[in-house]
Structure formats: structure tokens, C-alpha cells
A and B are shown apart, each in its own frame.
Chain A
Amino acid sequence: MEFGSVAFILRFLPIFFILYFVVPGRMKNVILLLGSLCFYAWGKPILVIPMIVSAISDFIFGLRIEKHRGKSSAKILLFSALFFDMGLLFFFGYADFFVETANTLLGTGVGKLGFPAPVGITVYTLQTMSYVIDVYRGNCKAARNILEYGTFVTMFPQLPAGPILKYRDMQASLHQRKMDLSMIATGTKRFCVGLAKKVLVADAAMQLWNLILEGKPGGMSIATAWLGMAAFGFAIYFTYSGYCDIAIGLAGTMGFSFPENYDHPYSATTVTEFLRRWNLTLTKWMKEYFFRPLTDGKKNVFLRILVLVATWGLIGFWYGPDWTFVLWGVWLVLFYVLEKLFLGKLISLLPRVVGWCYAMLVVAIGWLLFALDDVKDAWAYLQAMLGMDCSGLIDNRFWFLVREYLPTLLLGTLFCLPFIGRMLRRVETGKSGMAIAIKRLLEKVYPAVFLLASLVYLVGRGW
């Protein structure tokens, strides 16, 4: 089921929340678990099986690892658990990719499995893996209650796009959570913001990108090519961050506190800063469970760089089973390394706007790898962006599309940079009574306005 669908908002959510708030304390986990399974089963019911298998197996592995902690058998159990989790992930999410790669390299003709990748498998697999590792390391107690653990693994808000949760952070609230009015209200507001980001900005930006992509790169002007890149940048950011806002918001209304996942990545003035602001829970996960175990205590710079590049290659791979995603991660981390070596110091001497332009150029080129099917297409598009193969500097199509999508572009710019937050803080600390009154009024009405606008758009577009 998609967050941005009428069925989710007008069928699933009302029924789910009525049941969730009606049942007493401990039963809430039952409703959440069942609701999550329903949500997950909506796409293809059978794909709920790997998730259940993963939850049950890691629950058992967790208990066994804890029991054998400190013994060599614990390590064997840990590796068995990780092998099992990764096996599920690779089989359901990446098998066809590897078959295709092997066919290309070896000239074989092995048939694909043709499994549709289960939604959220990359999210819940990382969650279950971090759980067994944490239990092994003694960072958290093994779950004793299958219901609580099952709820953690299957919880629907974070399944589509994260944030990636850790059991150790959620353990207490899975057992008992306090639900106060302020938390529910904050969650409600966040949900409305996320929905508006997805429906009003991301979908329209994706539409613009697809429109531009209809023309061949060589036939478009430089300005149109850049407009397309900006549109894709907005689409990808607002889709992911919108989904995360929805997840954080829904979790809040249920009494959970989810970690933040995006921190205005397009305000970054270096690639390092961008990477620190993009999909925080995923990068933290990779740092804690992949990069550090392989580099801690090792001083060999080349090894550290190699592991770093591999880490970001895997982060890219998390987004999808294609080499272009791996290249996206590698492309970004190369600039991270260069910035650590010398580029960072150089950029710090220049005005911030120069740094911002440089960072956004690198990010935009990275998005080409993300957006297009292969490197050849990405290169052709980049040539149009750089004026090497284009139909001129600017054309009518550019102006036409700018006018058509002006609200999307304005909203996108406004919400992806930290203007609004800064302005609101300034108003709050300022002395203008009128400004504060307007701010309070806006704070009251914006959730309803965002929700209503999103619903009208969803319904209107569906029709």
C-alpha cells in the first residue's frame, strides 16, 4: 500500500486508528502488528511470508545468541542469523540483478526468478540484522516477547522508506509507551507535512522530470536539462523525506519516537555535509555495523578509503538492485575523500555560495546515475546539461515548463532549504506581537490546509 493513496488515507488509517485507540494498553501492539501485516500484504499478500520468517528467525536467534554470549558459539549463531537475513534479502530483492550480471559477464542465459521485490525488505532486514548484532555485542537485551519484536520488525510507518530503527532504541516504547496529547498533535502535524511533500511536491516534480525525459537529451536546451535535474532532485528528496515525515508523524501519534532521517540536504555547502544530511539512519547504520567493524584500530589509510567506498557503494545498492545505484554512492564518496584530502580546505576559503554550487553540481550529477537506466543515458544527459550536446542555451520548452510547474518549483525550493524554520524561530524570538499572532494562527491551520490540499489532489488526480 502506498502512503500517497486514497485507500491508505481514507480506508486503512481511519479503521486502524479507531481500533488502535479503542483497545487497551498491551492490545495496541496486537493491532499495530495486524495492521502492519495488512498494510504490507496489500501489494502482494504472499510477500508477507519472508517478513514473518525473518521476524521469527531473528527472534529465536536473538535469544540463542544472548544465551551463548561470550562463547564462540555465539559468533556462529550471529553469522548464521546474518547469513539467513542477507539470504532472504538477496533472494527476494537482488537475485534477478545478480542473475542478470552473471549472464552479462559469462554470456550465460540463466532465467530470472521474476519475484517482485517485497516493499520494505531493505528496511526490515537492516533492522533485524542490527538487532542480532546488538544482542551479540551486549548493546541490548534479547526480546522476550515475540509480539513486541514482531511489532518492531513489521511496524508499517517506516517500511516504505525508513527511517531504519534499532531495537535497542525502541525496546522500551514497544513494551510500554506514554501517549500524550502533545505527542499525538505533533505526530499529526508531521503526517500532514509529509503527505503534502509527497502529493503536492514530489509527484508533480516527478511528472516534470518525466516530461523532460520524453525529449532526447540532444534535443533539449541546457536550461531544460538543468530544470529536469532540479525536478528529479526535488522528486527524490520530497518522496523520501515526505515518506519519512509520514512515518515519524504516524509513529508519534502511536506514542513512538522515530529518529530524524533528512536534515535539509540541499542546503549543504560540501558533499561531506550532504552525506551527513541524507538518509541519516541508513548512513549511521552502515557506519556502525559495516564501516567501523572493518576499520576500527586499523591505521592504513588506503584500507579505510577502500572500506569507505565499499560502504557508500552498499548504501547506493540499498536503494535498488542496479550498478547505477552503486556508482551513485561511489561517486559521492569520492568527493568526500577529496574533501578530506584537500578540497574541503579549499572550499572553506571560498564564499559559501560557491561551496553550495559545487556541492549541488556533484549531487546533481549523482542523481543522473540514480534517475537513468544506465551510465550511457546518464552521460548523454550530462552532455546536455554541460552544453556538449544540446539544442542551445535556453528554449521555449524551458520557459513553458517553468510556468507550468512554477508552484512546484517554488514550494520545492522553499521546503528543501531551512528558510521556514529559521524564519519561524526569528519570529518567536522577535518582539512583533503581530508576527507572533500570525505564526500561531498558521501553526493552527497549516496541518488542515496541507491535508485538505493533498486529499483534493489525490482524489482529483485519481478521477
Chain B
Amino acid sequence: MENKNNDLFTIGVVAAIVFVFALLDVLHQTGLLSRDAALSTDPMPVYTTQNFVSGNYLQEYDNYVAKHFYNGEKWARIVKNLELFWGKREFDDVYLGKEQTFFESHDAKTWQGTAETDSLALLERLSKEYQAKVMLVPTADEIWKERVPSYGDVLDQKAYLDKARATVSEQDFIDVYAVLEEHKKEEIYFRTDSHWTAQGAYYAYLAWWEKSGRLLPYFYDLDHMETILENYVGPLAKRSGLEVTGEALRVFEETLDKGVTVTYDGRVTVQGYYRPEYLDTKEPYGYFLGEGFGLIKIDTGLDRKNNLVVIGDSYANAMIPLIAPHYSTVYVVDLNCFHGNPWTLLDEQKASGADVLVLQSVPGFLDSFVKEEDVE
């Protein structure tokens, strides 16, 4: 009798779990249980005989069922939290470090060899031929090393910086590493994003100013920064799928001046450095001068003695608003997205006395600072 009860219990519980899950799911996907916006934007696959015969319909249906399960986000979070509980720290190539800081995992092996040599060669040419100032910014996993999960793969950025330093003249190399190290206890990087904050960029700006030979830097009030968003959650945290506390997105009040005209890829012109429309996108850091543009032209409306050409990646975008008032026009070239010939622009601007600045994050320098022949 006891065995019979045990058998009934097993069958009953297992059947109940399967049927409850199945019922919840069917009710949800037919819209009877709840209205999920994702269901209307990603409707159920449409049946056609051709689709069915090819097997695509059933494959799409499989994916649809898996993707739109009732409260899928919560289940996913349960899974992630369980994994977190037993010590997992890498989620979709994103590390969750101490103090809820997210890092991109950087595999140094990816960049060994030609990527490094070619990037250094291009740097050398920019330095020799265009007297470019070089500012390579270490990312958070270097400066906040102690927050990276134990045994996590981190790139030895210091070693790359030393190589870069040896490639260009001492006068042209701006040592941001030392400056950021000095301020490492402050919010110089986003916790949830792979970029630095305006505050981090500010310290780098001061380092640039010291090397620029200018009499005074512009005044930016660290104590009265404007908070744009209290609960900024960057793409790294989103990609990890973990529940996180957001952080503040701040900019310097002095950079909110609307007198600046910014033209993106020669097509879109907006006033001001900041793009609030990016805050609700997958790339909220695009708030700083947008995202994915090859050439950004900034007319500051100020009468200055020369222009500036920045060869930079997205890291440059947080610093441009600080540095731009020193120039009449600033050109920001992202070699990764720029489809024209950067040398023509550099030659033109150099002839009119423009300054050149290479402003890249170290991984960006190794990753997207493309081979010389590619930009010939």
C-alpha cells in the first residue's frame, strides 16, 4: 500500500509540474494570462505549407516557445542567481566582480602578434609624421584589478602602455595610467558599462592639459556635476542578465552649453555634445556623442587658433566635451567606422596647424586601431 501511495505521489507531482508549466505557457502565449509586449513585437511563426515542409516552421515554433515562456525573464534571473550563488562569475563574456562591477573578459591571446605590431606601427607613424599626442586609456579591469573575480582573464594593459610609450616621444605620450591609478577610489569608470565616466575623463583631460603647454585648463566643477540619470544600467550589466543596482550618469554642467554644433558623418547635425535619445537604447553610453559614427565634426563656435583631430574610439567621446573648448573645430575619427581616407583629413588639418590626438582605450587600440595598409 505504501509503495502504491509513493508511486501515485511521484506520478502525480511530476505530471502536475509538467501540466502546470505547460498550461501557464499556453495561456501566456495566447494572451489569456497576461499581455506581454514582446508577444506583439515578436509574433508566433506563421504556418505555410512551404515553411512546414522545409522544417523551418517547427524550428521557429521551437525557438518561439523557448523564448516566450511565461515570465521568462524571471526564470532566467533565477537561473543566473543560482549560478551566482554557487560561484559563477562569468556571464556571456562579462565578469561580475566585487562591488557589483562588471568587466569585459579580455583574452590577451587574441591580440598577440600582428594586431599589436600593426597598432604600434600606426601609432609611430601618427606620432612621427603628425606629432600626435597619444593618450591610451587603461580600462577598468586594469585600474580596478582588485575588483576583478579571482583568476579572471585580464589583459596586462600596463605592458602595452609601456610599449606604446617607447614607440612615441616622451613629450607626446600622456600618462593616463598614473592619473587614473591616483583616483582609483573615485567613480572614474562605470560599474555597469565598459567605459569611463565623465569624472575619469576629467582627470585624463588634466593630464592632457599638462602636456599641451597651455596656460590654464578650463574649469569644470567636480562638486556640482549634473546628474542626467540616477539609475544608469550599462550594456555589460544588461548582457550579464543579472539584477543590478543602477548608478548615476553625470556630466559636467559646463559642458551642457548648447552653442556647440555637432555633425555626424556629414549627415546629421545636432546642438550640444549629448544625445539623450541613446539613454533608452542598448548602447546608453551613446549619450556621449552618439555611437558608431566614423567622423564627428564639432564646431565649438569659439574663435581659437587651431583645430583638433582626434583619432579615437568611444572612450574619446566622454572627454571631447572637456577638451573641445580649446579649439574652433574638433574632428573625431573612429577608424573602426570611418569609410573615408583619414590621411587626407589629417594632411589637410595638419597643413592648417591642427593638433592631433590619439585617444583610445587600450583594448580599443589593440582591437580596432586597424592595420596601416587598411587606412592607406
Contacts and interface: CB of A to CB of B under 8 A. Distances in A.
Is chain B a partner of chain A in the same complex?
Answer: yes
B67 A189 contact: no
Interface stretch (A43-51, A79-87, A133-141, A414-422): A43-51
A6 B90 contact: no
Interface string A185-200: 1001101100000000
Contacts of A212: none
A282 interface: no
Contact of A461 (B7, B54, B76, B150): B76
Contacts of A14: 18-19, 22
A396 interface: yes
Interface stretch (B9-17, B266-274, B362-370): B9-17
Contact of A456 (B10, B58, B79): B79
Contact of B69 (A1, A399, A407, A463): A463
Nearest to B58: A42
A407 B22 CA distance: 28
Query: Of residues A7, A46, A448, A463, which shows the largest number of chain B Cβ atoms within 10 Å of its Cβ?
Result: A463
A315 interface: no
A398 to B, nearest CB: 8
Nearest to B95: A400
B14 A192 contact: yes
B6 A396 contact: no
B88 interface: yes
A34 to B, nearest CB: 16
Contact of A11 (B6, B17, B22): B22
A444 B9 CA distance: 8
Contacts of A407: 86
B152 interface: yes
B109 interface: yes
Contact of A399 (B55, B59, B72, B151): B151
B66 A397 contact: no
B4 A181 contact: yes
A6 B109 CA distance: 38
A397 B10 contact: no
B62 interface: yes
Contacts of A451: 14, 17-18
A459 B4 CA distance: 32
A219 B111 CA distance: 13
B54 A459 contact: no
A447 B76 contact: no
B105 to A, nearest CB: 9
A458 B151 contact: no
Given A14-B18, A397-B153, A460 B66 contact: no
A7 B18 contact: no
Contact of A444 (B6, B17, B67): B6
Contacts of B78: 456, 460
B7 A184 contact: yes
B336 to A, nearest CB: 23
A25 interface: no
B80 interface: yes
Contacts of B90: 400, 404
A191 B86 CA distance: 26
Contacts of B40: none
Interface residues of B, number: 49
A362 interface: no
A457 B69 CA distance: 12
A41 B13 CA distance: 30
Interface in B103-152: 107, 109, 149-152
A185 B10 CA distance: 6
Interface string B39-61: 00000000000001111001101
Contacts of B75: 456, 459-460, 463
B5 to A, nearest CB: 10
Interface residues of A, number: 50
Contacts of B76: 459-461, 463
Contacts of B61: 7
Contacts of B19: 14
Nearest to A185: B7
Contacts of A106: none
B209 to A, nearest CB: 38
B156 to A, nearest CB: 12
B17 A448 contact: yes
Nearest to B68: A463
B326 to A, nearest CB: 43
Given A5-B66, A42-B58, A406-B86, A181 B11 contact: yes
A189 B9 CA distance: 11
Given A396-B151, A399-B151, A447-B10, A460 B80 contact: yes
A188 B107 CA distance: 45
Q: Which of B10, B19, B52, B76 has the most CB of A within 10 A?
A: B10
Contacts of A192: 14
Contacts of A219: 109
Contact of B55 (A6, A44, A447): A44
Contacts of A53: none
Contacts of B55: 42-46
A400 B67 contact: no
Contact of A9 (B18, B54, B67, B79): B18
A462 to B, nearest CB: 3
A182 interface: yes
Interface string A3-24: 0011101110110010000000
A216 interface: yes
Contacts of B17: 448, 451-452, 455
B312 to A, nearest CB: 29
22 contacts: A5-B62, A6-B25, A7-B65, A10-B21, A41-B58, A42-B58, A46-B55, A181-B7, A181-B11, A399-B150, A399-B151, A400-B89, A444-B10, A447-B10, A448-B14, A448-B17, A451-B14, A456-B79, A461-B76, A462-B72, A463-B66, A463-B75
Given A396-B153, A443-B6, 16 more contacts: A6-B62, A6-B66, A182-B3, A185-B7, A185-B10, A188-B14, A400-B90, A400-B149, A448-B10, A455-B21, A456-B78, A457-B79, A459-B69, A459-B76, A463-B72, A463-B76
Interface of A: 1, 5-7, 9-11, 13-14, 17, 41-46, 181-182, 184-185, 188-189, 191-192, 215-216, 219, 396-397, 399-400, 403-404, 406-407, 443-444, 447-448, 451-452, 455-463
Interface of B: 3-4, 6-11, 13-15, 17-19, 21-22, 25, 52-55, 58-59, 61-62, 65-67, 69, 72-73, 75-80, 86-90, 107, 109, 149-153
